[in-house]
Amino acid sequence: MLLDTASLYFRAYFGVPDSVRAPDGTPVNAVRGLLDFIARLVQDHRPDDLVACWDNDWRPHWRVELIPTYKAHRVAVETELGPDEEETPDTLAPQVPVIMDVLDALGIARVGADGYEADDVIGTLTGRATGPVDIVTGDRDLFQLVDDARGRRVLYPLKGVGTLQVTDEAWLREKYGVDGPGYVDLALLRGDPSDGLPGVPGIGEKTAAKLLDAFGDLAGIMAAVDDRTSKLTPSQRKRLDEARGYVAVAPKVVRVASDVPLPDFDPALPTEPRDPASLDELAARWGLGGALKRLLTTLQH
């Protein structure tokens, strides 16, 4: 089981009231919510391995060079050397280091790579896996990794993580008319305002799905632009022709990386904390006793 950790702690932050606070009054709603999410996921799905995938860089420079608008609206501070700072709610940012410390003390693998997003870590680990993979994320971009033959599916939270949309190829075909790899083409044609992906003007989700159904894939659609006998409407042909520059670079931006250099780590689900003393200290300092007890009980069973 691969967790898109930031996606889950953002969801926890907005789903758990900020009246949930540490003894010193600091909000810990994202921390507590994430721990409860993990406990529920382990209880319901019993994975052998669990990896909290991390955004070492939420807006990699190599993606921005290809599409400058990529996540641009979410930048709080641009930095010369390291990753740009993402705009996050004031009371969420201080909780992220606490989440890191707690996961590390528990012994839950937390894996990131400099210059890459958690999505890329998930793509790489999914590619390496020899058995089934469940990806837990609120980010539809990862639908591209769905592969029934290899047991790869996305568990997309609808209400917390107790109600998950199990995304497999049948669901993708019914909803979008594409399979996993086809989702990349659909997403880049449609665009995604939340990621600053412009898409092809005038080509929405339904039109993109129809074009992919008619011409197979992005390459087939662009070949149809050059084929005057193809059944593109004049406006579709014009829009796609004008978007050639975007269409040429967008696949590299939208497709998750599959070859990220990752550190060595142990993905096995821990049955007891790696560092009990640190965990006790964190539990006392941040008022996490109840949430940690629930999670540890689940891990031990």
β pairing state of 133-136 and 2-4:
parallel
Name the percent of the chain in helix, strand, coil, to the closest 5. 50, 15, 35
pLDDT in tens, 134-171: 999 999 999 999 999 999 999 999 987 889 999 999 99
CA angle 217, 222, 227 (to 5 degrees): 120
d(CA 84, CA 134): 30
**Span 272-296, average pLDDT:** 97
Instruction: Say if residues 30 and 153 touch (Cβ distance below 8 Å).
Output: no
Residue with tokens 């007890």: 293
Instruction: Decide: helix, strand or coil at residue 81.
Output: coil
Residue 205: per-residue pLDDT: 92
Whether 81 shows a pLDDT value over 70: the answer reads: no
Name the strands in the sheet holding 133-136, side by side, starting at the edge strand that comes first in the sequence. 109-111, 51-53, 2-4, 133-136, 152-159, 163-167
Q: Which residue has the tokens 């190829």?
A: 169
What does the pLDDT read at residue 90? 84
- DSSP for 3-57 reads EEHHHHHHHHHHHS-TT-B-TTS-B-HHHHHHHHHHHHHHHHH--SB-EEE--S-
Global pTM? 0.94
